[in-house]
Amino acid sequence: MSDTGESLVTALGEFTLIDRIVERLDAAAAHDLLVPTGDDAAAWRTHDGVAVATIDALVEGTHWRTDTMAWGDVGWRAVTANVSDLAAMGAEPQYLLIATTLGPDLTIDDLDGLIDGIAESCRFHGVRVAGGDVVRGPVTALSIAAYGKIEGGTADAPLLRRSRARAGDFVAVSGTPGASGAGLALIEAGRAAEVGIEMLLLAHRRPVARVALGRAAAASGLRCGMDISDGLLQDLGHIAEASEVGIEIAAASLPLPAAAVDALGVQAALDLALGGGEDFELILVGPRDALVRLDTPEVPVTLIGRVIADHPGEVIVWGPDGEAYEPPRRGWDQTRDSGERRS
């Protein structure tokens, strides 16, 4: 193993791998896109606006376990995750292409459940399946590509990017981050039947993409945002790096899910809000007034911090005691961590 070439790729982290691939693709990578690789989705100009596209791969055992969710939940979540990448750009999702790899143990009932979950999430999110592929393999897996559009705006296209945070901006988050991670933690602790945690289970098994909020944010003039898929702190870090700014947030301002505080305690709920993934809530960055105007009773938008010129690329969490707080986990790297994506 002295030669790098013989090393396994599992020795490299996700973001190192992506950098390596993009560099090696060289001219075969579309560096001149309106939004090149590295954001939630790629975007390129069309005759009447912007086309936005993204792809995700999900593999049984890595991205879901059938002992914590039903096949319908797997299908629902896969669609949500892709639609969320378009929501995070402020785009209108239109079509999905779905490639399904059928593992040897998959039953027809399993497949029917998977397809039903996909169909339900499509109807809920207003997207439709335009095509797909079905193949066999040693493990069940799904790859979904999503296409959407943003109309108008040839000069300054109304889309949300990771690289547009500026010192002085405020930082907001939708919903109650950590709910999905709390749901999974309770399922794994054998507490799924408890009363009062239904919204946490739903957040894990039937998460919702914030399509209307993303579009409203872009239409209102905001230009910076992304969705929380790897964990709030890690995803804020992506914005800090892409924008070359620092971000500071106040732990006390985080909108923790009340059910998670009740069931797990405030410290665990806080850590899940900071480091849990797959909430699919939106981080939005911009002027305070623009953010506050997006807050509604249905989808709360809460101010949690500010963008600063100091500490570029870093995210600082101020704890209730006035000291910087470091949670046990900042987020999720799916090429290195083992087991299901979790808090």
3-state secondary structure of 184: helix
- Member of 74, 122, 256, 273 binding a second copy (CB under 8 A): 122
With CB under 8 A, what is the number of residues at the site for a second copy?
Answer: 84
Nearer residue to a second copy within complex by CB, 123 or 311: 123
Residue 33 is a binding residue for a second copy (CB under 8 A): yes
Question: What is the nearest approach in angstroms of a second copy to the Cβ of residue 121?
Answer: 8
- Member of 80, 84, 101, 174 binding a second copy (CB under 8 A): 101
- Member of 84, 100, 174, 176 binding a second copy (CB under 8 A): 100
Residue 152 is a binding residue for a second copy (CB under 8 A): no
Residue 55 is a binding residue for a second copy (CB under 8 A): yes
Residues paired with residue 56 on neighbouring β-strands, in sequence order: 144
Q: Evaluate whether 63 touches 189 at the Cβ level (below 8 Å).
A: no
- Member of 4, 193, 289, 322 binding a second copy (CB under 8 A): 4
With b for 16 or more beta-carbon neighbours within 10 A and e for fewer, the 112-146 pattern comes to ebbbebbbebbebbebeeeeeeeeeeeebbbbbbb
Residue 19 is a binding residue for a second copy (CB under 8 A): no
Question: What is the nearest approach in angstroms of a second copy to the Cβ of residue 206?
Answer: 15
Angstrom distance (rounded) from CA 25 to CA 31: 10
Per the rule left: phi > 0, alpha: psi between -120 and 50, beta: everything else, 46 is: beta
- Member of 135, 155, 193, 195 binding a second copy (CB under 8 A): 135
3-state secondary structure of 81: helix
Q: Which stretch binds a second copy (CB under 8 A): 125-133, 155-163, 177-185, 295-303?
A: 125-133
**Interacting residues with a second copy between 278 and 337 (CB under 8 A):** 334-336
| Element (DSSP H or E) covering residue 73 | helix 71-87
Q: Evaluate whether 91 touches 149 at the Cβ level (below 8 Å).
A: yes
Nearer residue to a second copy within complex by CB, 21 or 309: 21
